[in-house]
Amino acid sequence: MRLAPLALATALALPLALLPPGVAPAQQIAPQVPPPGAPSSFAPLSQRLLPAVVNIQTTQAGAQQRAGRDAPEVPQAPPGSPFEEFFRDFMERNRPNGQAPGQPGRPMPPRRGQSLGSGFIIDASGIVVTNNHVIDGADEINVVLQDNTTLRAELLGADPRTDLAVLRVRPESPLPAVVLGDSDTAQVGDWVLAIGNPFGLGGSVTAGIVSARGRDIRQGLYDDFIQTDAAINRGNSGGPLFNLAGEVVGINTAIYSPTGGSIGIGFAIPSNLAKNIVAQLRDNGRVRRGWLGVNIQQVTDEIAESLGLKDGARGALVARAQEGGPAAAGGIQAGDVILRFNGREVREMRNLPRIVADTTVGDRVQVVVWRDGREQTVEITVAELPSEQQQAAVQPTQPAQPQQTELAGLGLRVAPITPEQRERFSLRADSRGVVITEVSPDSPAAERELRPGDVIVEVQQERVGTPTEVQERLERLRRQGRATALLLIEGPQGQRWVPLRLNAPPRGQRG
């Protein structure tokens, strides 16, 4: 981890003699004209917002500083620079368990692990929002106001899935507060301010723009981050990202950096995602999320073509409606493409979990699905997302048909699911369909990464139980002039839909 401002301080200290030959000092420092619409200064806005942004200090009894937490880490300044003494004092004040400052070989006495982060006040009575990872595992949480007043904080609730937490402090007088704005209005290119506590240095303001929207950084099911180039470093976690109206449009949470310092790629939780979570944590101490009970996958162009889906790839394809879940009870089936949920468009697969999670538990909502070549509407009652989902195993009975069948033109051999095949491929007790026994190299099946042991459950949204049924479905699609067949495949990772190119079988063979 390196402190980004240090590089700037070193660059400014370069003598003019180091400028490239022929470049006059006046050319090097000429002021730039602000672009149209840019504020001449962020000072008035910063002065108004800074009092509502707080530092979060946490301690953990008998613990070292934990990896990944926003603990201060400061580099060595160049010898003789004016920053050397400042950083040395800072390091000694925040030194982790180890050697005593100035006394090599003498261990420091055991002390409480410390961590630093940021937060912001949303209610004058003392309600503070921050990241869950800032306070996770803390035995004691303190909130430090801009005037250095320290208040003991109570954790009202935390949600690891969205990395949000809500604290309460009890001030003697009302505190300055900010509001959670409408993050949907934040457009790429809009100015934003990030305020927080980088490296434990205290309230700091950085400016930048919204670089991108809807970023999925593989942190969880509900990823929908705002990306910004406003400098965000360790210690900024939990701090607010403001628009020029002074509204919080994001909660600074993560950075992408090979060095650990800011390189202009920071991520903030959108305020519209945070609003419902924060309200539930404040009122109930926990989050109740809506649950639909489906396994879904992305709709590709080939899948959309196979299903005759108008307007191209969109929506979320249902691979499985879990038995006993709200979707199955409401009539949603495997092979349905969910296009709209409770009036909100499902543009792609990863939109659906967030939309469902935001829906009030117990609400009865309309779901528009694509089925049998047209849009249909079903109604489901949203249930609460369970902490654990258990599946009951059912032992199926299958007729003994040990023979294998070649699906010509696809590069597949298949067989019925018999006790022998179930043991050979370690199939689940409730697996039903036709098991793939061989996959030819360079075949359409190999292109789609089908493997021996995968089970064909459906062909073009029709259940199959024997190789003959698979052949009949494929032959019917060929007669209809279809270029692909849509197969529901069950593998070790669950069920998924696979569009398979229908090559013509060799002369004299039927597929």
Q: Which residues are known catalytic residues?
A: 133, 163, 237
Beta-bridge mates of residue 456: 434, 489
Contacts 24+ apart (CB under 8 A), 442-450: 442/411, 443/410, 443/411, 443/412, 444/409, 444/410, 444/411, 444/500, 444/501, 444/502, 444/503, 445/410, 445/411, 445/412, 445/500, 446/411, 447/501, 448/498, 448/499, 448/500, 450/412, 450/489, 450/498, 450/500
Cα 19 to the chain's mean position, in Å?
45
Q: SS in 3 state form for 151-163?
A: EECEEEEEECCCC
What tokens does 489 get? 């495949």
Residue 415 parent element (H or E): strand 412-416
User: Who's near 100: CB < 8 A, 6+ residues apart?
Assistant: 106, 107, 108
- CA atoms lying within 13 Å on the CB side of residue 481: 0
User: 466 and 460 in contact (C-beta within 8 Å)?
Assistant: no
* Alpha-carbon span 126 to 124, nearest angstrom: 5
Residue 11 parent element (H or E): helix 4-12
Residue 253: DSSP 8-state: E
Residue 52: DSSP 8-state: G
CA angle, 107 then 56 then 227, to 5°? 115
